[in-house]
Each structure stands twice: as C-alpha cells, then as structure tokens.
A and B are shown apart, each in its own frame.
Chain A
Amino acid sequence: MDGKKDRIPVVENMDEWGERFEAGWLAYVKQNVVGVPDASPDWDLYKGARNRQTPAGKGIDLSKSRLLLVSSAGGSLISANQPFDAEHVISDPTIRAFPASTPLSDVRFDHTHYDHAAIDVDSQVQLPLRHLEDMAADGTIGELTDNVVNFSGYQPDIRIIANEIAPRILDAAREEKADAALLVPA
C-alpha cells in the first residue's frame, strides 16, 4: 500500500467543492444549527463530490495478503477508548484502532446517524471480524492485520476526510503492514 505512485486527488476540484460547501450547507449550519437545540442541517443544500478519474492498481492474491478492515460504523472499545463525538454537527475526525481479535461484545458503536437495530443484534453486519478470522483460517485471506481501524462515518466535510481521516488510516495501514484494505461503510 505505497500510495505514492500515480497519486490522484481524493476529490477533484476540492477547492471548488469547498467553496460551495461553505457558502451552502456549512453557512446554514453555522447560522441555524450550532447552539440551537433540536435544529438539523438542511440536506437540500448539500452537494456531494464528483470525480472523473478513478485510481488504478494491480489486483492481489488475497490468499497471500495481509488485510486491514476499516469500518466507518464508529466502533470503539468500551473498556479503553473514548467514545467518538458522534453528535458533532461537522465532524469527529479521529480514528480508533483495536485488536481484530476483540470480542464483539467489547465494542460499542458510537456513530448515531444510522439505524442500530441490526448491529445491536449482530455486530458482524458492520464489523465482520469473526467472518474474516474464519476466512483467514480457511486460506481465503492470507492473514488479518493485528488491529482494525474505525472512524465515525458522519463526515459532511469531504476536506476533513481527505486531509485528516484518510491520512490517519493510511498511516495505520502502513504500521499494520497491510497489503490491502476493506472498507465497510455505515
């Protein structure tokens, strides 16, 4: 996971996107939501990013590869991690890494912007650690990295993803000596 060759931006025209974001969605939030109980962002003002280019890369032999699981479900260790600030109207840009061998009952999911009905019953609908262990045991995957990386997926400001969260995940992937990553979004 070198990431240096033929690097293309996470989002093309980021400056232009940022200007629209600040003048639209963010301006509304600052004026009408921050500090106002029960107020919500106006999602009609939110415009997503659009890329024309797609990054290229060689396929890998998964059976000989070390896989990093990345989850945006906001998982954190009940006993050891600070919860994510999931109710922050702009972003919690931090990540949490904890052992991939962690019992799922030791993980809480702080991200509040999705329905927790399924994950409360079976965490593997979003954090498939036991399935991936099984796949490593049967040879489908070479091995799992020691740790799984988690962040809270409510991230309206794409600049924060590109400039803060993605670099932290990439650093973690390098530390874990990962050959590939699987993102399970929430």
Chain B
Amino acid sequence: MTRPTAPPRAVYTKLNTGKMLGAPGDHAQQRRVLEATLGLLAKDAPTPALKLGETCD
C-alpha cells in the first residue's frame, strides 16, 4: 500500500501488520527496526526505501 504513494522515506520489513516493529517481547529487534527507521531522517529525501530482513513468526 505504501510504495505506490511514493513517500519520501519508508522502511519495509517482513514483519506483519500488528507487529510492525518486531516480535512481542523482542525488545532488541524492536529497537533495531526503530533505529534503522529513524536513521533515514538523517538523509535528504527522497531516499530509496530501506528494506530490512527482520522477520518474526
């Protein structure tokens, strides 16, 4: 849904809706996703979308 709207900064993961930042209780994963996402704010936009390999069951 996000990609066709051409946002200036965006992050894509394989995490599902309802757990966008990671697995419940996995605070290290949640923090990794957050830090990577916020890192985009340091870059001039538009910047290529960031694809993270983060997953959870």
Contact = CB atoms under 8 A, between A and B. Distances in A.
Contact of B34 (A55, A61, A117, A132): A132
B37 A118 contact: no
Contact of A54 (B6, B19, B21, B43): B6
A117 B18 contact: yes
A141 B24 CA distance: 23
Interface of A: 11, 48-62, 65, 67, 114-119, 121-122, 124-126, 128, 131-132, 134-135, 140-141, 180, 182, 184-186
Contact of A114 (B17, B35, B41, B42): B17
A16 to B, nearest CB: 14
B16 interface: yes
A185 B45 CA distance: 20
A119 B19 contact: yes
Given A118-B18, A185-B20, 18 more contacts: A54-B46, A57-B44, A58-B45, A60-B41, A60-B42, A115-B16, A115-B17, A115-B18, A116-B18, A118-B23, A119-B19, A122-B24, A122-B25, A124-B21, A125-B21, A131-B34, A140-B35, A180-B41
A98 to B, nearest CB: 19
Contacts of B42: 59-62
A140 B23 CA distance: 22
B14 interface: no
Interface of B: 1-2, 4-8, 16-25, 27, 30-31, 34-35, 37-39, 41-46
Given A51-B6, A118-B18, A184-B20, A141 B30 contact: no
A131 to B, nearest CB: 6
Contacts of A60: 41-42
A182 B50 CA distance: 15
A126 B21 contact: yes
A145 B42 CA distance: 18
A51 B41 contact: no
A126 B45 contact: no
A59 B47 CA distance: 10
B45 A54 contact: yes
B41 A54 contact: no
